[in-house]
Structure 1
Amino acid sequence: MIILVGGMLAATIPAITHAATPSFDVEAATRAYLDLLQGPARTKSDAYFEGGYWLPLWSTLVSSLIYLPLLFTGVSQRLRTYAERKTKRRWLVPAVYALPFVALTTLLNLPWMIYEGFVREKQYGLMNQTFASWTVDAAKAFGIGLIINALLFMLVFWVIRHFRRSWWLIGTGVAAVVVMLGALIAPVFIAPLFNKYTELPAGAVRDRIVAIAVANHIPAGHIYVSDASRQTKRISANVSGVGPTIHITLNDNLLERTAPEEVVAVMGHEMGHYVLNHIWTLILSFTLVFLAMFFVVSRLAPALIVRNPQWGVRDVADPAATPLLLLLAGLCGLVLTPVLNSITRHNEVEADVFGLDAAREPDGFAKVAMRLSEYRKISPGPVEEMLFFDHPSGENRVRRSMQWKKDHVTGATVVMPGPIAGK
């Protein structure tokens, strides 16, 4: 039986037990949610997400059109020579090289950055910023990137210079350490540069989030809300950081655009990432991907340098080789995109399952899955989902929620949810 509750979801669900409700129709319940996305709204959602399938390819092409001319025109060689004139310390040369290199490539890539990061988001109604405000954030990101890249260039070329045969192996370990440091530092020192973080006010929602956190041994002394609505319409939350920098954070869109049961459902999912140690499994998985990527680059780059003396690149330890190394790494990353998506998607499925058990809000999670359809295709084919989705599709998430409801809610009934638009 389908129940319409005032055009909206019911505020509560029946008591949770381990007894199934055999008469509950999972497919009918799933279809009730999927039918919320019809007509122009579904066409727009599909168009946005399917357009994103091509973005990694176009980004790689744009990078190629930047990096190759820097090699063939000798610009990279001249930047290296400039860096060597500025400092006699060999270990510091890559850092000095990085400053004009990052500035130049950012400038050349700026039209694509504006289209991908601002114009396209504005076109599909997801961007809340003005271009001026977006530019300020982009300038901050550039400044941070300039410093980080200078340090990374210095570190990477030190490794290549000192471990000529095995730099790809040592470099993989260094990359893993850098990722861990980023996870440790970013929530405290970088994220606040782009958004304001305030404590979630006391109330029923906070009480439920704290209860779930305490039950799963997650530090819940602070629960933060970010003012993401000044930038985007997207809803999100996360448990970020490592060790002493662990943060429970939800953005204000989640609070303002969803019902309390949806907020709790999302936070249950995010806490699943923490409890299941996904940050560590992701670091390990991505380290293996880095290993394959660095190995390929270490084999191709020296051969290409030898065959192209006109580049003026001495060897793979020369900072002037940077455009070539980045181009090869980008091509490897493009090829490995489905692998990276599958790794992330597997963790997201595990967090979905955990969140349903922890929050016990199957209809809340299903409703959130439908809200995410604003920018995620709701019903892809199996191969399409495997190749292009780094999260489970909305249809699979809704069906999983309804199956959980059948398996755990005594007397479960199919709810006819209200429209997702308007919040």
Structure 2
Amino acid sequence: MKTRSTMIWISLITLALLFSLVYLWYALFPGQIRPEAVRFFGVEQIEQGRDYSRGIRISYILNFIVQTLFLLWILASGRGSRLSRACEQWAQGRKWSGYLAFYLVIWSLLALIRLPFTFFSGFYWQQLWGFSTQSFPSWWGDFLKESLLDLVLGGVGVFLLFLAFRNWPRIWWLICGIFFSLWLVIQSLFWPVFVAPLFNHFQPIANPEITSMVNELANKADLAIDEMLVMDASIRTTKANAYFAGVGETKRIVLYDNLLNQYPKEEIKAVIAHEMAHWQKGHIARGLFLGTLGSFLVWGGAYLVLRQEMSRHHVPPLVWAVFLLFVVLVNFVSAPLQNSISRQMEIEADQTAILLTEDPQAAIQLQMNLALKNRSDLSPPKFIEWFSYTHPSVLTRIEKINEVGVPFPLK
């Protein structure tokens, strides 16, 4: 069992190192511009997208590298073991207090590590490029709210994890998989209702032209749209976007107010049709199913690597740091698979939306305008697109849309 655990760790660390170095290389040196990009965009537009994306990508990969190195260091150096014992001694036999103390220390150190990278990519870089409409106090308030949510929800997760360790020592991984699957459903159900309103204000779309458009598309898609909301995204950013969220009674389509205020009706219709297509194709349900399946695989792997760190009679707080490192590495090295599934859903939604609107030109013009205004990388390195893109690049989306409708005339 120890040999199997060692092989898992070696494989994860090797893949993470390889992916990190290749990602960093292409973030710094994206290579030549694809010829097809110049057919749709100017060279200056492409270079601006690359410059903006470079800062975001470097911040992302350095954040991952520094956090991972910290966890490796604290475990390999023995400091994690000493901290674990210190928390147990401080708790004086109150095991749950020891677990909580260890969790708070590790969480706080990682939060401090993340802070400069989060500030750079989420505030400084957005201000520098003219996207952010947010003041520093407002950004800091959002950061504190997000951190508090992460702290509390993470604490609940740690409690359930150690509860499973102690009460079901042989099948804790199965119990945790069930807990996590339930959490995925609960999160999808309640996030739009209780969490999103902590950061933004949502209200029904009042424009009769838009509501008529929604009804027309919903009838064509044979969907019942309960809520179509506009979000006051402009209080934080000039970027435009839209998303679908929720399950059951909390299902909704949300449009940024920037999208409604800055884009023509044909392109807004293309956005709405795209979000409806996600519903029509059952992408939320499919995502929940795949997330549940993947979680059981991860929990099974965690069982293999954690067995030597714990016994039936003693589960040290250190197990949390080992588990956290395992999850961080697994999430990173499995990103290409997760993102590939997401991109396929987006392509399916794009193509289904064309069948609803029967207007491929509006859909392609929308993708071009969004890419330009949001400073997307118009010619991303293939590795970075494969590894980290949850949505296809604009060139891929145009290609896939053209497979359904009439090709968009080149400039």
TM-score (norm 1): 0.78
Q: Does 1:42 align with 2:42?
A: no
CA distance in 1 between counterparts of 2:96 and 2:285 reads 31
3-state SS of paired residue (1:414): coil
Aligned partner of 1:363 in structure 2 is 361
Q: Give the aligned residue type for 1:402.
A: N
Picking from 284, 293, 310, the partner of 1:288 is 293
CA 368–384 in structure 1, closer or farther in 2 if over 3 Å, else same: same
Q: Does 1:235 align with 2:235?
A: no
Aligned partner of 2:202 in structure 1 is 197
CA 101–196 in structure 1, closer or farther in 2 if over 3 Å, else same: same
CA 143–384 in structure 1, closer or farther in 2 if over 3 Å, else same: closer
Q: Does 1:78 align with 2:86?
A: yes
TM-align CA RMSD: 3.0
CA 203–355 in structure 1, closer or farther in 2 if over 3 Å, else same: same
Q: Which has the higher contact order (CA 8 A, sep 6+)?
A: 1
Q: Percent identity?
A: 25
Q: Give the aligned residue type for 1:111.
A: P
CA distance in 1 between counterparts of 2:84 and 2:298 reads 23
Asked if 1 retains the 8 angstrom alpha-carbon contact of 2:83 and 2:102, the reply is no
CA distance in 2 between counterparts of 1:75 and 1:145 reads 22
CA 163–171 in structure 1, closer or farther in 2 if over 3 Å, else same: same
Tell me by how many angstroms 1:269 deviates: 0.7
CA distance in 2 between counterparts of 1:135 and 1:316 reads 40
Asked if 2 retains the 8 angstrom alpha-carbon contact of 1:32 and 1:415, the reply is no
3-state SS of paired residue (2:404): helix
Superposition map of 1:293-308 within 5 A: 293-303=298-308, 305=309
Which of the two has higher C-alpha Rg? 1
Asked if 1 retains the 8 angstrom alpha-carbon contact of 2:102 and 2:317, the reply is yes
Corresponding residue pairs, total: 371
CA distance in 2 between counterparts of 1:259 and 1:34 reads 25
Aligned partner of 2:342 in structure 1 is 344
Q: Give the aligned residue type for 2:331.
A: G
Asked if 1 retains the 8 angstrom alpha-carbon contact of 2:37 and 2:379, the reply is no
CA distance in 1 between counterparts of 2:274 and 2:243 reads 9
Single out whichever of 249-258 and 54-63 deviates more from structure 2: 54-63
3-state SS of paired residue (1:405): coil
Tell me by how many angstroms 1:251 deviates: 0.8
Picking from 411, 414, 418, the partner of 2:409 is 414
Tell me by how many angstroms 1:314 deviates: 10
Asked if 1 retains the 8 angstrom alpha-carbon contact of 2:55 and 2:121, the reply is no
CA distance in 2 between counterparts of 1:323 and 1:415 reads 54
Asked if 2 retains the 8 angstrom alpha-carbon contact of 1:33 and 1:366, the reply is no
Asked if 2 retains the 8 angstrom alpha-carbon contact of 1:188 and 1:245, the reply is yes
Q: Unmatched 5+ residue regions in structure 2?
A: 1-34
CA 221–340 in structure 1, closer or farther in 2 if over 3 Å, else same: closer
CA distance in 2 between counterparts of 1:246 and 1:413 reads 33
Q: Does 1:376 align with 2:376?
A: yes
Asked if 1 retains the 8 angstrom alpha-carbon contact of 2:37 and 2:378, the reply is no
Aligned partner of 2:68 in structure 1 is 64
Tell me by how many angstroms 1:413 deviates: 7.8
Aligned partner of 1:14 in structure 2 is none
3-state SS of paired residue (2:133): coil
CA 413–69 in structure 1, closer or farther in 2 if over 3 Å, else same: closer
Q: Does 1:392 align with 2:392?
A: yes
CA distance in 1 between counterparts of 2:88 and 2:284 reads 37
Single out whichever of 329-338 and 73-82 deviates more from structure 2: 73-82
Asked if 2 retains the 8 angstrom alpha-carbon contact of 1:79 and 1:101, the reply is no
CA 169–59 in structure 1, closer or farther in 2 if over 3 Å, else same: farther
Asked if 1 retains the 8 angstrom alpha-carbon contact of 2:203 and 2:231, the reply is yes
Asked if 2 retains the 8 angstrom alpha-carbon contact of 1:92 and 1:154, the reply is no
